[in-house]
Amino acid sequence: MNRSVFLLAALVSLASLAPAAQAKAAPTFTKDIAPILFAHCAACHRPGEVGPFSLLTYEEARKRAKTVGAAVEKRLMPPWKAAPDLVAYHDNPRLSDGQIALIKEWAANGAPEGNRADLLPAPKFTAGWTLGEPDLVLQADREFTLEAEGRDVYQCFVIPTKFAEDRFISVMEVRPGNRRVVHHVVAFTDTTGKGRERDEATPETGYRTFGGPGVPGAQWLEGWAPGKNPRHLPAGHGLLVPKGADIILQVHYNKTGKVETDHTKIGFHFCKQPVDKRVRVHTHAFPGLNIQPGDANYAVTNSYTVPANVTVLAVWPHMHLIGRAMTVEATLPNGNKQPMVTVPDWDFNWQFGYHFKEPLKFPGGTKIQLTAHYDNSENNPANPSRPPKAVRWGEQTTDEMCIAFYAYTVDTEHLTQGIAAGGMNRGRDREAIQALKPFDKDGDGKLNDAERAEAVKAFQERFGSKQKK
Ligand code: HEC
């Protein structure tokens, strides 16, 4: 073969390769994109759901192909804030790098439809309760009316359970009344009666707070956000709803530009088997926040030592608007590190509980370290104060919080054998009682509102600036 014939042959074979490779790669809606949208997006992006538009049909997806590509590339969607690969969680909707590349390529190619015969049927969603009719359904005394415009609303509905004895539930399911406006829901138990007092002080059903129930002593029970599948606790495990408790149901509402109504329901499934393990929720909080205006990287680190052998089922980080990142990591007594969660790009709108696929075993003496960062500068678009002002712990939109909630069981506890255990709070409660004694001015063993305000102020002064790095 002379040289020019060889070159010609090479060119011919290259030319014939090129179109074949291209044809193979081009992704289409029906074949490649619809299955991803159905599995990862449709739970929220379908008619009547919390997503601002539907992504169920080709027409709807084509119109938004560019924004969809951008939202998945930045990993804004699907909303899920925990860093991957540290620990395996249940219900993680995250897209793979390959899926993101497909969506981007499809959008860049002009969002072709492809062959209609390739299209899978659209997913079916259960209309009723996912886990079947609950044993008890609770809702606020009347429907709530949400204004058309303005800021998001956090409404706390107080619902009496009237339980004559302590009850254990194995799951709480949530059915939002109006999915266009219900962004997420958190339920607390309240045995103090303070939630009722706050409710009765307002003419509307429920009362407004931001981020939490606004009632000291109310206990976190369960949280829900769209896309979360209800899941029964393992057999023999239960969440306690104490005798006589009220449920404070806090609903975060988005507004739609129209007046809307909602009457969200929760459903309890009681434990059918004897409960051996009480699932408790520990609040690991750092209330001594003191974040100066303009400080773009205020950091706190706080550690908590686990007093007994425990098994941790889930973690929920909680901050308000200027929170930027949180990491929770445990160091076992043997020195091994166990990551629990890292939220590198905190978004107040998407607070999830992260449920470990394999619950974490922590021997007594394990140290859990919580590290949080806040940006109180003008450059933080989420900063609610313009110009920025000093920010401390509190319940208002402009205040901050620093909490990691841990759902756990105590290993030595076997209620079926009559062996009860104290919770993680026990040792800490004793310390707290000692530390708070000087503020109990009238010596009645309790802090009234004025005494509590003094104590909070003193603690903030003591810890607030020391923690800054
Ligand atoms: C858990 C519910 C939920 C899931 C799952 C979800 N979205 Fe969204 N999406 C929303 C909500 C709510 C908004 C409105 C903005 C907000 O609140 O962040 C939104 C907004 C968007 C936007 C507009 C963003 C912008 O820049 O304006 C796009 C695009 C989008 N979603 C695409 C997707 C895609 C693609 C998926 C799946 C890969 C997905 N979403 C999964 C709830 C969800």
Q: What CATH number is attached to the domain comprising 169?
A: 2.60.120.310
Which residue shows structure tokens 């259960």?
A: 126
Sign of CA dihedral 194, 184, 268, 221: negative
Which of 33, 37, 41 to mutate to test ligand 1, by most ligand atoms within 8 A of the CB atom?
41
Domain end marker among 118, 144, 178: 118
Q: Domain check: are 202 and 329 in the same one? A: no
Q: Quick one: pLDDT at residue 456?
A: 63
pTM over 0.75: yes
Q: Are 224 and 329 contained in the same domain? A: no
CA of 13 to the centre of ligand 1 (A): 45
Residue 460 lies in a domain: no
Q: Are 341 and 407 in a shared domain?
A: yes
CATH number at residue 304: 2.60.120.230
Task: Identify whether 3 is part of a domain.
Answer: no
- The protein residue with its alpha carbon nearest to ligand 1, atom 13, reads 51
The answer to whether residues 259 and 292 belong to one domain is: no
Specify whether 299 is located in the same domain as 420. yes
- Residue 16 is predicted with a pLDDT of 41
Number of domains into which the chain is organized: 3
* 333 and 212 part of one domain: no
CA distances from 56 to 31, 220, 432 (A): 14, 35, 53
Backbone angles phi, psi at 150, to 5 degrees: 110, -170
Q: Is residue 291 part of a domain?
A: yes
Q: Give the structural domain span for 222.
A: 136-275
230 and 346 share one domain: no
pLDDT at 396 (0 to 100): 80
Residue 444 lies in a domain: no
The pLDDT value recorded for residue 457 is 66
For ligand 1, atom 3, the nearest C-alpha belongs to: 44
Task: Indicate whether 224 and 258 sit together in one domain.
Answer: yes
> Does 9 map to a domain?
no
**Residue pair 210/396 in contact by the 8 Å Cβ criterion:** yes
Whether residues 84 and 212 share a domain: the answer is: no
**Which residue, judged by its Cα, is nearest atom 37 of ligand 1?**
41
Residues 6+ apart with CB under 8 A from 452: 216, 439
SS3 state at 417: helix
User: Would residue 79 count as lying in a domain?
Assistant: yes
**For residue 436, what pLDDT is reported?**
61
> CA-CA distance, 394 to 401, in Å (whole number)?
7
Nearest to 34 by CA among 148, 93, 113, 141: 113
Pocket of ligand 1 from Cβ distances under 6 Å = 40-41, 43-45, 50-52, 64, 67-68, 71-72, 77-79, 93, 95, 226-227, 349
Tell me: do 185 and 271 sit in the same domain.
Answer: yes
Q: pLDDT tens, position by position, for the chain (469 residues)?
A: 344 444 434 443 444 444 444 445 699 999 999 999 999 999 889 987 878 899 999 999 999 999 999 999 999 999 999 998 899 999 888 999 999 999 999 999 999 999 999 999 988 887 788 899 999 999 999 999 999 998 889 999 999 999 999 999 999 999 999 988 998 899 999 999 999 999 999 999 999 998 789 998 898 899 888 777 788 999 999 999 999 999 999 999 989 899 999 999 999 999 998 999 999 989 899 999 999 999 999 999 999 999 889 999 999 999 999 999 999 999 999 999 999 999 999 998 888 889 999 999 999 999 999 999 999 999 999 999 999 999 999 878 889 999 999 999 999 988 888 887 776 655 444 444 555 667 778 877 666 778 777 766 665 554 333 333 3
Strands (E), 202-262: 207-208, 219-224, 237-241, 246-253, 260-262
Whether 291 and 368 share a structural domain: yes
Looking at the fold, whether 61 and 157 belong to one and the same domain comes out as no
